[in-house]
Amino acid sequence: MEFFDINYLRELANDYVFPFAINLLLAILIFYGGRLVARLVVKAVGKLLERAKIEQSLTKFLCDLAYALLLAVVVIAALDRVGVKTTAAIAVIGAAGLAVGLALQGSLGNFAAGVMIILFKPYRLGDLVKLSGHTGNVEAISIFNTVLVTLDNRKIIIPNGNITGNTIENISTLGTIRVDMIFGIGYGEDIDKAKTILQDILRDDSRVLEDPAPCVAVSELAESSVNFVVRPFVHPDHYWDVMFDVTEQVKKRFDDNDISIPFPQRDIHVYNQKTGLKAA
């Protein structure tokens, strides 16, 4: 019966129930108030990142990460208010974070590389690039990888860590690209005539840019031919079309003007072992 004594119950309530109820109420207020503050802070950070023209995918990821960290702090503060010992919990979370970090070391490296790519923008969506030995147009840039669509319509997914650790060749950055071609004519042909034909072919092609001016010049006196270098500048999207079409036009125009395109030739000398004479 003593257990139900009014004075005892009053002391129990004053010493334990009321303080715990007050701390629980404060913990709830800390949690909901802290969560509201975290959302406001993340929203403000998101607006700052948007004004800085940071990539949308990176902005979302950073905002989500910031919200998760702030919410973790709020939860720990709320638990501490109701008397939960959070020191051990923080130690466990830290150890778990370290273990996860070691397990995801490669992914974290790709993440860091993705942040660098998005911030410094060595290439953008739609650019024609050469990354890790693959050439194609950039279809997507994410935190962990970059997606290319090659010229023969294959999709290549490259981890960002492999990209930043190697040479990045952006073909689209300057807006033009040079097409390098070599055409040979026979030694008995008229060099000036052949050069004029090559220049006319480039001039008649509307895809060939006037500035920078294309180059047509004799580059080599080879074993079987006089070789011309033909170097027009075009937009990256026209690279292959110009190369194929110009090559076809060169063959047709040379045939129409009786200019031979030689194949490899060798002079053969036959010696007669008895007489010592030779015949060509």
Residue ranges of domains in the chain, CATH in brackets: 2-103 (1.10.287.1260), 121-170 (2.30.30.60), 177-256 (3.30.70.100)
> Do 104 and 143 contact (CB within 8 A), yes or no?
no
What pLDDT was estimated at residue 226? 94
pLDDT of residue 96: 63
Show Cβ contacts of residue 103 under 8 Å, excluding neighbours closer than 6 positions: none
Q: pLDDT for 67-126, tens place per residue?
A: 888 888 888 888 777 777 766 666 666 666 666 555 555 567 787 888 888 878 899 888
* Average predicted confidence (pLDDT) for the chain: 82
pLDDT at 6: 67
Tell me whether residue 73 is exposed, middle or buried, using C-beta atoms within 10 angstroms of its C-beta: 0 to 12, 13 to 18, 19 or more.
exposed
Residues of the chain with pLDDT under 70: 1-17, 54-55, 57-58, 86-107, 264-267, 272-280
Helix (H) or strand (E) holding 49: helix 18-51
Task: For residue 25, give the nearest of 83, 81, 76, 85 by alpha carbon.
Answer: 81
CB neighbours of 26 closer than 8 A, spacing ≥ 6? 81
- The model carries a pTM of 0.56
Sole residue written with tokens 């923008």: 121
pLDDT of residue 1: 44
21 touches 65 (CB < 8 A):
no
